[in-house]
Amino acid sequence: MLEGMRCFSLGYSWGGFESLLIPQHPLTERTATPWTEAGTLLRASIGLESTDQLIADLADGLDRLRP
Protein backbone atom coordinates (compact mmCIF):
# COMPACT_ATOMS: atom_id res chain seq x y z
CA MET A 1 0.00 0.00 0.00
CA LEU A 2 2.69 2.48 0.98
CA GLU A 3 4.63 2.11 -2.26
CA GLY A 4 2.99 4.27 -4.88
CA MET A 5 1.49 6.90 -2.57
CA ARG A 6 1.51 10.32 -4.23
CA CYS A 7 0.55 12.66 -1.36
CA PHE A 8 1.74 10.66 1.64
CA SER A 9 5.34 9.97 2.56
CA LEU A 10 6.57 7.38 5.03
CA GLY A 11 7.56 8.78 8.41
CA TYR A 12 6.63 10.20 11.79
CA SER A 13 5.18 13.69 12.11
CA TRP A 14 7.33 16.30 13.82
CA GLY A 15 4.75 19.07 13.41
CA GLY A 16 5.36 19.67 9.72
CA PHE A 17 2.85 20.45 7.00
CA GLU A 18 3.20 17.27 4.91
CA SER A 19 1.00 14.17 5.02
CA LEU A 20 2.70 11.09 6.43
CA LEU A 21 1.92 7.42 7.04
CA ILE A 22 3.74 5.07 9.38
CA PRO A 23 2.95 1.41 10.16
CA GLN A 24 2.56 0.70 13.87
CA HIS A 25 2.62 -2.62 15.67
CA PRO A 26 0.37 -2.12 18.73
CA LEU A 27 0.97 -5.61 20.12
CA THR A 28 4.57 -4.71 20.91
CA GLU A 29 4.28 -0.92 21.29
CA ARG A 30 1.03 -0.47 23.23
CA THR A 31 1.14 -0.80 27.02
CA ALA A 32 -1.96 1.03 28.35
CA THR A 33 -4.48 -1.65 27.35
CA PRO A 34 -4.17 -4.87 25.35
CA TRP A 35 -4.52 -4.60 21.57
CA THR A 36 -6.94 -7.27 20.35
CA GLU A 37 -7.21 -6.45 16.64
CA ALA A 38 -5.37 -8.47 14.01
CA GLY A 39 -2.97 -6.89 11.55
CA THR A 40 -0.93 -3.73 11.42
CA LEU A 41 -2.17 -0.29 12.37
CA LEU A 42 -1.45 2.52 9.93
CA ARG A 43 -0.98 5.90 11.61
CA ALA A 44 -1.77 8.92 9.44
CA SER A 45 -0.66 12.51 9.94
CA ILE A 46 -2.70 14.73 7.64
CA GLY A 47 -0.98 17.71 6.07
CA LEU A 48 -2.06 20.67 3.97
CA GLU A 49 -2.74 18.91 0.67
CA SER A 50 -6.25 19.14 -0.74
CA THR A 51 -8.81 16.83 0.82
CA ASP A 52 -9.73 15.37 -2.56
CA GLN A 53 -6.09 14.50 -3.30
CA LEU A 54 -5.60 12.85 0.10
CA ILE A 55 -8.81 10.82 -0.18
CA ALA A 56 -7.89 9.67 -3.69
CA ASP A 57 -4.37 8.71 -2.59
CA LEU A 58 -5.69 6.69 0.37
CA ALA A 59 -8.33 5.02 -1.82
CA ASP A 60 -5.68 4.01 -4.37
CA GLY A 61 -3.47 2.66 -1.59
CA LEU A 62 -6.30 0.60 -0.12
CA ASP A 63 -7.11 -0.75 -3.58
CA ARG A 64 -3.52 -2.02 -3.81
CA LEU A 65 -4.13 -4.07 -0.64
CA ARG A 66 -7.07 -5.94 -2.13
CA PRO A 67 -6.28 -9.24 -3.86
Q: Which domain holds residue 49?
A: 1-9+40-67
Residue 29 pLDDT: 74
**pLDDT tens-digit series, residues 11-37:** 998 889 999 999 988 877 767 888 888
Q: What is the mean pLDDT of the chain?
A: 90
Average pLDDT over every residue of 44-62: 96
Query: What's the structural domain count of the chain?
Result: 1
Whether the Cβ atoms of residue 7 and residue 20 lie closer than 8 Å to each other: no
**Which string of DSSP letters, residue by residue, matches 6-39?**
SS-EES--SS-SS-EEEEE-HHHH--SS-----S
| In-domain check, residue 26 | no
CA distance 59 to 37: 22
| In-domain check, residue 32 | no
Of 48, 50, 57, give the one whose Cα is nearest residue 18: 48
